[in-house]
């Protein structure tokens, strides 16, 4: 999709997101010498008379050897990159055979198949490191498991269509014995799983978020309404942070990249001065670029807040949070938020390049429909693929072959019902080496 290239070339999310740090590749050259070749080489020393015949045999053997060694290295790399751990000999042989017979994708699928006990590292380490930076403002990987990361891991494991990430009434909790029950007011449940090194391949089970947290089902919005996301992005401020970080983490664009001063400013809230420092040009050339599009989108979160005293997400259906009315004197005629109705002004203008879905209307009420709007965009699909590419290739998609591969995986992702597991498998095959 051509227009997306504009967004990509501006994408800056690579910095600070060296995920998967614990899946560094351990390249070992322990591939045994092909037995036929060893015999043949010894025979060459023994008898010059049969040199020619042996040499032909040797040539034949050493001709096969790189194929096997190559396939083993590729299988091993696929496994290392996906799980962060070396495979057992038995699994490596199976995967090598699959790679040799042209089914590298099957080998990658096997490496992360949750029925395969050796896939544990993919769930407990690779995916945890993949998702953790999305759950805090520093975007650090060094944070304990929480309800956001556990939900991502569970969705990938169970092949839940990933385009429901920002809208589903879904939450994964642990079934490890001895763990304190899920609590809306603390992270102890997940901290226990982390401290006890729970096998996240098996320890997570799918729940209705509304049933676990008591949030009305219509007010659930996938990972955006998890406790971890609320604590990071609904805390204080004006709830614009939830929008900004969702855009950054899941559409791979920060607001600098989507600024558009040509959208109508009619929904910009009162707290944004129209003449900062007495200069209205600053508003027209600067503030408007983000706030004209962002404010009518972040309105979807009008009923959410994070209560620091209780340590929990609060939802006040029908009553706009006080934080939407702060600093109303900055510009009295500014927009006063009456409800949680949102509109996507960025469906017009340059941000059409984000590729919003033509089967959605671009407007709605509440976080759930906003989550659908965002997660069904081309930018969302491509962003997930870019992140998976980075996680298993240990680099940015750089040259045109990489970008073509990302485009191809993105289109498979969408046509395979948004299977994130498949995205990882395909990226690992692409980066399995020669
Ligand atoms: C590049 C995008 C962008 C531009 C340009 C921009 N803002 Fe913002 N603004 C944001 C984001 C994102 C937030 C939410 C920050 C947060 O809560 O983390 C925000 C928040 C605010 C807030 C709420 C208070 C706060 O700090 O959370 C005010 C007031 C505000 N902006 C005013 C302005 C004014 C005035 C200008 C122009 C001088 C401007 N903004 C330009 C993105 C932008």
Render pLDDT for 131-177 as a digit per residue (tens, 0 to 9).
Answer: 999 999 999 999 999 999 999 999 999 999 999 999 999 999 999 99
Q: How far is CA 217 from the centre of its chain?
A: 24
Which ligand 1 atom minimizes the distance to the CA of 236? 17
pLDDT value of residue 66: 58
360 lines ligand 1 (CB under 6 A): no
pLDDT at 37: 34
276 CB within 6 A, ligand 1: yes
Ramachandran bin of 315, using left for φ above 0, alpha for ψ from -120 to 50, beta for the remaining angles: beta
| Chain segment 39-64, per-residue pLDDT in tens | 333 333 334 443 444 444 444 444 44
Distance of alpha carbon 221 from alpha carbon 242, whole angstroms: 12
Which residues partner with 314 through β-bridges?
Answer: 305
Residue from 254, 263, 291, 324 to probe ligand 1 pocket by mutation (most atoms less than 8 Å from CB)? 291
Q: Verify whether ligand 1 is closer than 6 Å to residue 282 (CB atom).
A: yes
Question: Which ligand 1 atom is at minimum distance from the Cα of 327?
Answer: 29
At 311-330, the pLDDT tens digits run 999 999 999 999 999 999 99
The domain segmentation of the chain, as residue ranges, is: 3-59, 120-229, 234-372, 380-430
Count the alpha carbons within 13 Å of 150 in the hemisphere toward its beta carbon. Answer: 31
What angle do helix axes 378-393 and 51-83 make, rounded to 10 degrees?
Answer: 120
Burial code of 138-159, b = ≥16 C-beta within 10 A, e = fewer? Answer: ebebebbbbbbbbbbbbbbbee
Q: Distances from the Cα of 14 to the Cαs of 20, 102, 391, in angstroms?
A: 13, 32, 11
| Residue 4 to residue 310: CA distance in whole angstroms | 42
In angstroms, what is the span from residue 280 Cα to ligand 1's centroid?
A: 15
What residues have CB less than 8 Å from 147, skipping those under 6 apart? 171, 172, 173, 182, 187, 189, 190, 226, 227, 228
Does residue 193 contact residue 178 with C-beta atoms inside 8 Å? no
Task: Identify the segments of the chain with pLDDT beneath 70.
Answer: 1-66
Helix, strand, coil distribution of the chain in percent, nearest 5: 55, 5, 40
* Residue 244 Cβ contacting ligand 1 at under 6 Å: yes
The finding on whether 189 has its CB within 6 A of some atom of ligand 1 is no
Which two tokens mark 345?
Answer: 């002004």
Ligand 1 atom 12, closest CA: 244
């Amino acid at each position: 999709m051509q227009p997306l290239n504009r967004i990509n070339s501006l994408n800056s999310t690579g910095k600070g997101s060296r995920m998967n740090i614990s899946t560094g590749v351990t390249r070992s050259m322990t591939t045994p010498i092909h037995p036929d070749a060893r015999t043949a080489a010894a025979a060459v020393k023994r008898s010059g008379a049969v040199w020619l015949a042996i040499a032909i045999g040797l040539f034949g053997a050493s001709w096969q050897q790189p194929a096997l060694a190559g396939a083993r290295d590729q299988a091993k790399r696929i496994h290392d990159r996906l799980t962060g751990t070396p495979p057992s000999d038995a699994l490596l042989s199976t995967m090598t055979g699959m790679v040799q017979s042209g089914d590298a994708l099957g080998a990658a699928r096997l490496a992360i198949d949750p029925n395969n006990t050796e896939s544990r590292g993919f769930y407990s380490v690779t995916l945890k490191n993949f998702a953790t930076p999305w759950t805090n403002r520093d975007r650090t990987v060094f944070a304990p498991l929480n309800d956001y990361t556990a939900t991502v891991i569970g969705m990938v494991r169970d092949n839940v269509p990933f385009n429901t990430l920002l809208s589903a009434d879904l939450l994964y909790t642990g079934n490890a014995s001895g763990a304190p029950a899920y609590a809306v007011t603390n992270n102890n449940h997940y901290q226990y799983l982390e401290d006890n090194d729970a096998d996240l391949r098996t320890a997570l089970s799918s729940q209705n978020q509304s049933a676990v947290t008591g949030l009305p089902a219509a007010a659930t919005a996938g990972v955006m309404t998890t406790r971890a996301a609320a604590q990071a992005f609904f805390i204080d401020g004006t709830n614009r942070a939830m929008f900004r970080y969702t855009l950054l983490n899941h559409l791979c664009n920060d607001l600098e990249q989507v600024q558009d001063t040509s959208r109508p400013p009619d929904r910009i809230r009162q707290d944004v001065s129209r003449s900062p420092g007495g200069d209205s040009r600053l508003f027209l050339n600067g503030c408007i670029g983000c706030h004209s599009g962002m404010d009518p989108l972040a309105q979807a979160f009008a009923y959410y807040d994070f209560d620091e005293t209780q340590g929990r997400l609060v939802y006040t259906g029908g009553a706009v949070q006080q934080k939407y009315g702060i600093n109303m004197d900055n510009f009295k005629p500014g927009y006063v938020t009456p409800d949680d109705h949102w509109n996507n002004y960025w469906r017009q203008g340059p941000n059409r390049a984000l590729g919003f879905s033509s089967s959605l209307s671009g407007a709605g009420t509440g976080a759930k429909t906003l989550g659908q709007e965002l997660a069904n965009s081309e930018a969302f699909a491509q962003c997930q693929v870019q992140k998976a590419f980075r996680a298993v290739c240990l680099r940015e998609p750089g040259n045109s072959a990489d970008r073509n591969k990302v485009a191809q995986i993105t289109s498979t992702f969408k046509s395979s019902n948004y299977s994130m597991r498949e995205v990882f498998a395909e990226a690992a095959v692409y980066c399995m080496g020669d």
